[in-house]
Structure 1
Amino acid sequence: MNTKQQLKALAEARRGVLVPGAFNALSARVVADLGFEALYVTGAGVTNMWFGLPDQAFMGLTDIADHTARIRDAVELPLIVDADTGFGNALNTYHAVRTLERAGADCIQLEDQVSPKRCGHFHGKDVVETAEMVGKIRAACDARRDAGLLVMARTDAAAVHGFEAAVERAHRFAEAGADILFVEAVTTAEQIRALPGLLPRPQLMNLVIGGKTPITDAGELADLGYGFVLYANAALQGAVAGMQRALGQLRDTRRIDEDPAVVAPFAERQRLVGKPGWDALEKQYG
């Protein structure tokens, strides 16, 4: 199977596949190296790590497309790509889908926030009218060159209009053609347990470390029938903690030795970026 077919099979199996987020090609290589089955190209991660800014619509289509293409070159895993609100209206969404599909996306996630959007676990969100988002989903489906490209529809309506309204929107999004549904920032264990029985399509549950949704064991989510369990920025938060730990030691002791508890060994860094393969190519062509 190609990566789009792999991702569709994972979604339909509804076994709570863990999907870490990647914010650049090296983080994607780490995800693949650790044996995960799919990864998420995170808009928040790209915004935080490349611009040093919060997840409040500072990222554009070119930014996420560039990162998607680089990650596509780095790994062979299925890629779910965060396309925020589609970067405008339905026509902009159509163009965004064409661009991200060309960059290597296997699934494109769209959300129903008013632009400029913000992280789903921030306060102050608002959502567009249901009909506007339905139009974007239809545009996204029509824009696909490859019918195997998946469209994921996210709603942030739970924070604005309540849980029942979010479920109703998700139903409308499924009718419009969305392959995967994503109800963002639910706040109780009861809502988490209820969603799989309320919606017809495979679903993704987003677990934000420190966010509004209760952290729930992926095994339990698999038993409930979720397709994917997203940890969009676990790698980012781990990387920040690692940088702070290593640089704090450098500041305090004025040296860092090759201690695996503090830094990845030099040889491990070269392995992850594929240096042995490049050395072999150099010999072949030399």
Structure 2
Amino acid sequence: MNSDPALFGRMLGIDMPPEAHPGVTELNLARVHADRRNADLVLTSHDQVVHLEFQRRADPTMADRMLIYRSLLRVEPACAGKRIRQHVIVLDRGTSPSRIDEPGLTFAFDTHYARDIDPVRALADPLTAPWATLAAAQNDDVRRARLSTVLGMAVSTGSESLSRDLIRTALTFAAITMRREDVKEALKEAAMPADMIRDTEFAQELIDEGRTEGHTVGRAEGRAEGARQATEDHIVRVLMHRQVGPRMARLIAEALIAHDPATSVEQAAFTDLDELMAMAAEK
């Protein structure tokens, strides 16, 4: 997403301004910090601000939240005098409100549904390929074959770090729309090298099975703690990308894994940051 905003925008039908770059995401209300909200992604150019919010499922309160974000963006020095455009991307089910119409207040933004993505367009480039896993499909077999294709494209990028990021993203998205057994089958069909998926939530299950399509992973004994640490480190990276400080990111990661390790990475990527911080505080 950050590597090529224009490419991402074309896939979802969002007109990205030229030379857009990541901007502030921690939005503070007034100097006394009387209130604070965290936006998912803010891109800025010389004359525009593009604010993106990613939601796993449609949120009936989304319009109210977007109005808060817009108000906070308006008083950010980096956004002063710039046109603000807001978009919500719903990754899974439901229909989200896109406006508020009431006496004295009219407010609107754009909502996009990942299920409406054209999988052919997404699969045209490795950088957008993971989004094909969220597109609508006729059945589970189509989804499994599509994920296998995405994983193959990710491995062939020529950059190990980029491949790992694309694989993690694809598997995070697949966990939203696919059954676990289908994800595991796709990993086997794609003949994924063991070291490319070792820090994903599916790795330990495949280690326990003893193979990933002929690539011997080795004994599961002694690996559980290593896999857990790798997952925690991955969650921390995701949260720091969302502008969470390293200490808080580590606390949230520990809380998420303790609550449900199977969905911990997904929750780190898409759950509201206020909720995640409250979960860490309760731990």
Normalising by structure 1, report the TM-score: 0.30
By relative contact order (CA 8 Å, sep 6+), the higher-ranking structure is: 1
